[in-house]
Structure formats: structure tokens, C-alpha cells
Homo-oligomer: A and B are copies of this chain.
């Protein structure tokens, strides 16, 4: 009998749904904080992110379903056994995070952050010209569920969309052009919006250094929702203080959390949010995670291929 350990905060209707996919299995419900070593050692299937330090490549574990899209830390040595299948929650976060990205795009473009500051001072003051999404060019770097959902929205609002992914094949309909990461330098000068939605890797560390920030239009907007390390924070501060870029919005920082004394808090034309665009803040995100887990559970027990299988060697989804 399969031992299925669930550590995501399911309600009764979620339990009913999951159990309907595995009627003969033994379900145990816990949380990442309260789960016991014994429960972890016994589990054949694990649904939810248990802290990596609690996992020592458990030999009974045949499949682990993450509740996160990021999976890099679970690919490190001695976290999971090489025979354990790892799947992530790609597809759950696209809606919430792409709406956040659209929100900060428009906040910067329409100067809503400045008007908020003025409102708090009871100041009826015109802050001048704005720009529009319609007629703009959007460059999305990283075309997972999140970057792809943002590109689709920008396209629907009249932006010309350019995407970058590791291999520039199979251009989706919502992109006008598709390139590989090696083409980034040629594309940056064309974009009004540059949106980064990248996993943590040596390839993406400080991808936006000072040289690349300066390749962007002075009127452009930079958005980062992947990992804070994709941007060189010092370089960003430097170019913003020089008057370069119309604005930058980040939901991830380096260091993270951003210390209270860090100068980035007060950088001009900067929007900082505390890594809140994902999580379970949008109730639909959690519903999607449960659906992915349930569909994968059904497939796993039927010996069929799972969705979102992570390649341990790259930390990315297998394609």
C-alpha cells in the first residue's frame, strides 16, 4: 500500500479530491513544520515542500511533488535519492505572478507610485507624461508558465512581444519573435519592458549587470520576479541614480529580505515588494497546485508519464 504524505494546507474538499485519485492508498496529512522523521522515512509519495535539511535522500520515496515552481535546492546532492522522481508546480503561479507583473508595469508607466506618495501628502499635483503598453515592445526573459503568461497578457494589450528561452524553438502564438539567451544583448536596446522570470543558476547570476542595464533604453522598465540574483543590485542602484530607466520593479532582491538600511529602498523610480507575488496569496494558486498534484497522482499510480518532471542535472523541467 502506498504511503502518501501531504504537507500542503489542504481543506476537506482537497483531501476528498486527492483521495479519489488513490482510493487504496494510506494518506497522512501534516505540514512542513510539523512533519516527523518517521513520517518522512515511511512515505512513498510526498506532496509539498519539506525543508531540504529534513530530507536525507529517503530511500522509500519514489515521487515528490513540489508546491513551488522553483526546484533548484531539491536538485542538490543528498536531498533526494537519484531514483526519486521530482515534479514541480509549474502552471500554478502564472496567473498570480503575471497579474502582479502587469500591475507593476502599469504602476511605473502611469507613475501611480508617485501619485501614491503625493496622496499621502494631500498633494493635488500633476506628474506629467506617461507611456502606454499598446504600441510598446516587451522582452520576456524566461518563458516558463510565469513569463509566458505575462507575455500573453502584454500581447493582448497591444504590445509587440519578444521572448527568450534556452532553446529558441517552438515559438508560441503570443510571441512575435523568439530567441535564445545568447541573443540578449542585441534585444535589450529594442525593449520598453524587460521582464525577468528566471530560475536560479550560474547562467542567470547577475545576468543584468551594469553593461546590460545600460544597453536598455533610458525610458525602459525592468521587472524581476524570478530570483533577486539575476540583477546586480549595486549596478541597478548606480544606473537608477544616474537617471537611467523609467523604472524598475522587483519582487525578489539580493540580499533577500532586503535589510532596512539598504539603499535600494529609496532608489528613484523603484518599486520593491517583499516576495509576495506568488505564495498562496491568490487562492486560485493553491487550487491549481492541488489539481497538478491530483493529476500527477493518478498518472503515477497508473504508470503513466508525470507532468513537470524536473531534470536533476539542470534544475529545469524536462521538455
Mark A residues whose CB is within 8 Å of B: 95-96, 99-100, 102-104, 106-107, 109-110, 112-113, 115-120, 122-135, 153, 156-157, 257-258, 260-262, 265-266, 270-274, 276-277, 279, 281-284
Contacts and interface: CB of A to CB of B under 8 A. Distances in A.
Nearest to A277: B110
Shortest beta-carbon contacts, A-B, top 10: A103-B106, A156-B156, A124-B257, A124-B274, A122-B260, A122-B265, A115-B273, A103-B110, A116-B116, A130-B281
B258 A116 contact: no
A99 B110 CA distance: 8
Contacts of A107: 103, 106-107, 112
A270 B272 CA distance: 20
Contacts of A123: 260
A274 B114 CA distance: 12
A57 to B, nearest CB: 33
Contacts of A157: 99, 102, 153, 156
Q: Which of A117, A134, A135 has the most CB of B within 10 A?
A: A134
Contacts of A153: 156-157
B122 A261 contact: yes
Given A153-B157, A156-B156, A265-B122, A281 B95 contact: no
14 contacts: A96-B130, A96-B132, A99-B109, A99-B132, A100-B110, A103-B106, A113-B116, A117-B120, A119-B265, A120-B265, A122-B258, A122-B262, A122-B265, A124-B257
Contacts of A129: 281-283
Nearest to A106: B103
A103 B99 contact: no
A126 B156 CA distance: 30
Contacts of A120: 117, 265
A271 B125 contact: no
A132 B276 contact: no
Contacts of A100: 106, 110, 130
B258 A132 contact: no
A126 B282 contact: no
Contacts of A274: 115, 118, 124-126
A233 to B, nearest CB: 15
Contacts of A135: 284
A39 to B, nearest CB: 28
Contacts of A131: 282
Given A156-B157, A274-B126, A103 B96 contact: no
